[in-house]
C-alpha cells in the first residue's frame, strides 16, 4: 500500500515522496517496467523490491570508496531515504562493450570490446525520446557547464571502475550502464553526486561464461523472466540469500 505522503514526482519506475526532513525525499520503487520510450509496458512482480535492494548495495559501495551519492538509507522493502537534488537533465551513459544503440549506429556486433570506456549523453526528455547530445549542446543550452562536465566524466568513470569490478567478481560482464547526476547546493557552490538508481534496469549485464543477459534486455527482447534474471544478479552479489529461488523468501537484512 502506498504511504500517505505528499507525492513530489512520479516517473516510469519510481515515485518520489516528500521526506521526513527538509532536503530529503523518499524514493519508492514500483514494479512497473517500460521499454522503447514507454511503448512497451508491464508490471513485473518483485522488480521494485529487487531494484531497491540492488541500488542500495551499489550506492553504499560507492560511498565506501568515496564516490558521493544521494542515498541515505533504506527504509523498507520498496523505499529508501535520499537527498533531494536538482537532477541534471542528462542520461550519462558509459559503455565498455558495444550493445544497443551504439552497436546499431556504428554497425558493431554486440559484445565487441570498445577501445576504451566511452561516455555519452542523452538529453532527458521523454517527448523527444531522450536524444543523444554532445558536450557542445549541453554547454550551449546551459544544462551543465564545462566544470560540471569534467566532474560528471570523473564520476562516471569511477562508477564504471567500481561496478565493472564488483560485477566481474561475480561472473558478470558490465557491458554499459546509465546514471543520473544530481546537483546539491552548498552555499554559493554546487556539488554533483550520483542520483536516481543503479540497478539492472539501467545496466547491460552479461554472464561472463555463457553470455546470458541478466538485465532489462530480458524484458525489452522477451528473453524470459525478468525477476529470475534480477534475482540471479542479487543472489550472486549476496543481496539475496544463495538458496533463494525468487524474491519471496526473506531478503537478507
Ligand atoms: N539506458 C537507460 N535508460 C534509457 C536509455 C538507456 O537506463 O532511457 C541504459 C540501457 O539500459 C543501457 C545503456 O543505458 O544499459 C545504454 O543504452 P543504449 O543507448 O544502448 O540504448 P538502448 O539500446 O537501451 O535504447
Can you give the pLDDT at residue 5? Answer: 87
Domains 7-85+226-250 and 87-207 share a fold: no
217 Cα nearest atom in ligand 1: 11
| pLDDT tens profile 65-94 | 999 999 999 999 999 999 999 999 999 999
- Ordered by start, the domain boundaries in the chain are 7-85+226-250, 87-207
Helix axes 47-64, 226-236, angle to 10 degrees: 30
Query: For ligand 1, atom 19, which residue shows the shortest CA distance?
Result: 101
Q: Which residues share a beta bridge with 71? A: 82
92 lines ligand 1 (CB under 6 A): no
8 Å CB contact between 226 and 33 = yes
Query: For ligand 1, atom 22, which residue shows the shortest CA distance?
Result: 100
* Model confidence at 248: pLDDT above 70: no
Domain spanning 7-85+226-250: CATH superfamily: Phosphorylase Kinase; domain 1 (3.30.200.20)
| pLDDT tens profile 188-223 | 999 999 999 999 999 999 999 999 999 999 999 999
* Model confidence at 3: pLDDT above 80: no
202 lines ligand 1 (CB under 6 A): yes
Whole-number Å distance, alpha carbon 77 to ligand 1 midpoint, is: 26
* Four-point Cα dihedral 183, 197, 89, 2, nearest 10: -100
Which fold, 87-207?
Answer: D-amino Acid Aminotransferase; Chain A, domain 1 (3.30.470)
Distance CA(195)–CA(244), nearest Å, equals 29
Please give the order of strands across the beta sheet that includes 24-29: 7-10, 14-18, 24-29, 79-83, 71-74
Among all chains, which residue has been given the C-alpha cell 508490471? 43
| pLDDT tens profile 149-187 | 999 999 999 999 999 999 999 999 999 999 999 999 989
52 lines ligand 1 (CB under 6 A): no
* Model confidence at 241: pLDDT above 90: no
| pLDDT tens profile 9-55 | 999 999 999 999 999 999 999 999 999 999 999 999 999 999 999 99
pTM of the model: 0.95
Which one of 36, 172, 202 would you pick to mutate in the ligand 1 pocket, going by the greatest count of ligand atoms within 8 A of its CB?
A: 202
Quote the percentage of the chain above a pLDDT of 70.
95
Amino acid at each position: 500500500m502506498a504511504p500517505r505522503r505528499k507525492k513530489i514526482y512520479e516517473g516510469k519506475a519510481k515515485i518520489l515522496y516528500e521526506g521526513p526532513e527538509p532536503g530529503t525525499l523518499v524514493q519508492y520503487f514500483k514494479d512497473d517496467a517500460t521499454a522503447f520510450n514507454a511503448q512497451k509496458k508491464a508490471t513485473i512482480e518483485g522488480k521494485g523490491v529487487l531494484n531497491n535492494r540492488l541500488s542500495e548495495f551499489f550506492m553504499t559501495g560507492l560511498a565506501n570508496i568515496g564516490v558521493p551519492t544521494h542515498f541515505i538509507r533504506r527504509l523498507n522493502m520498496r523505499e529508501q531515504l535520499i537527498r533531494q537534488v536538482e537532477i541534471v537533465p542528462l542520461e550519462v551513459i558509459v559503455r565498455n562493450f558495444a550493445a544497443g544503440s551504439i552497436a546499431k549506429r556504428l554497425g558493431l556486433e554486440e559484445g565487441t570490446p570498445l577501445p576504451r570506456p566511452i561516455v555519452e549523453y542523452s538529453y532527458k526528455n521523454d517527448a523527444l525520446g531522450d536524444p543523444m547530445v554532445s558536450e557542445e549542446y549541453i554547454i550551449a543550452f546551459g544544462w551543465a557547464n564545462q566544470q560540471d562536465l569534467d566532474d560528471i566524466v570523473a564520476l562516471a568513470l569511477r562508477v564504471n571502475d567500481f561496478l565493472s569490478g564488483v560485477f566481474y567478481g561475480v561472473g558478470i560482464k558490465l557491458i554499459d550502464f546509465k546514471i543520473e547526476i544530481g546537483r546539491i547546493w552548498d552555499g554559493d557552490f554546487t556539488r554533483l553526486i550520483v542520483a536516481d538508481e543503479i540497478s539492472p534496469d539501467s545496466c547491460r549485464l552479461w554472464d561472463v561464461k555463457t553470455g546470458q543477459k541478466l538485465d532489462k534486455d530480458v524484458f525489452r527482447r522477451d528473453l524470459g523472466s525478468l525477476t529470475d534474471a534480477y534475482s540471479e544478479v542479487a543472489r550472486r552479489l549476496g543481496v539475496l540469500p544463495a538458496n533463494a529461488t525468487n524474491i519471496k523468501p526473506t531478503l537478507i537484512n
